[in-house]
Amino acid sequence: MANNYARIAADILRRIRENRPVVHSITNYVVMNSTANVLLAMGASPIMAHAPEEMEELVNIAGCVVINIGTLSRPWIGSMVSAARLCAKSGTPYVLDPVGAGATKLRTDTSQDLIKAAKPKTIRGNASEILSISPAGGTTRGVDAMHDVNEAVDAASEVASSLETVVAVTGVRDLVTDGNHSLIITGGHPLMGYVTGTGCAASVIVGAFLAVEEDALIASASALAFFGLAGEKAAAQANAPGTFWVKVLDSLYTITAEELESSARIEEA
């Protein structure tokens, strides 16, 4: 039975379908095609561009900006930092996807530089990425902390509080927190781990939800519930990753607001 969070998720999805919000991604080469398709399938309008010369015009027409550091280089880092600052200036929300933060110094540093340049509305990553950008360092507890739900909530809340942003940690279950309130989202399917860019897809879906909903905690949790449901529906029709991803795209298009309302599983932590 739909709880209040599920009803709100359905309402946000309805607004996306009505308004087709523009989501501007500065993202990695690997997922540009697949995340553009994710946004179109669900009813949003993707833009992908990185030239500094057109950044201000594009940020101004975007409902949300997604910055994903998956394939970095110096010129792109410059564009990302500039985009983050323009978001702050124009009041456009932005999502940070710190792909591989913790794995290399360049990625950890770039994530932290972006956060310093302008506060993201939501940071979406896996547990090790999120811990690596913690101002506290996060190394004492390490990734393993996230294996236990209570410890995961504590660790993510600490990051969210110190950065004053919403943090969305995706994994077997997803956790969204603003430091005070924490929500657990159940959904998805193990086949997601056999397709590239599913984390990046989660981030752009969060972007589309943020484009039409100001409450970043609710928007992020709703987005992950929607994506999780798409994964479940796809897995019911596929047993291998090629077909699975095709069905994920189909499901992002076919899932109605009513279906999301009756199926979203968002609970307080």
Binding site for its own copies (CB under 8 A): 28-34, 36-37, 40-41, 46-51, 53-54, 57-58, 61, 70-75, 100, 103-107, 193-197, 239-243, 245-251, 253-254
Q: Which is nearer to its own copies, 169 or 249 (CB)?
A: 249
Q: Which is nearer to its own copies, 1 or 240 (CB)?
A: 240
Q: Which is nearer to its own copies, 75 or 135 (CB)?
A: 75
Please provide the DSSP assignment of 102-169 as one string.
Answer: TTBHHHHHHHHHHHHHS--SEEEE-HHHHHHT-TT--TTT-GGGGGSHHHHHHHHHHHHHHHTSEEEE
Which residues 6+ apart lie within 8 Å of 215 measured at CB?
A: none
Question: Least distance from C-beta 176 to its own copies, angstroms?
Answer: 25
Please provide the DSSP assignment of 165-197 as one string.
Answer: SEEEE-SSSEEEE-SS-EEEE----GGGGGSTT
The residues pairing with 224 across neighbouring beta strands, listed in sequence order, are none
Q: Which is nearer to its own copies, 32 or 156 (CB)?
A: 32
Question: Least distance from C-beta 91 to its own copies, angstroms?
Answer: 20
Question: Least distance from C-beta 269 to its own copies, angstroms?
Answer: 30
Distance CA 107, CA 113 (A): 10
The residues pairing with 268 across neighbouring beta strands, listed in sequence order, are 183
Question: Least distance from C-beta 159 to its own copies, angstroms?
Answer: 23
Q: Which is nearer to its own copies, 2 or 106 (CB)?
A: 106
Let me know: does 23 contact 64? Beta carbons within 8 Å: yes
Question: Least distance from C-beta 92 to its own copies, angstroms?
Answer: 16
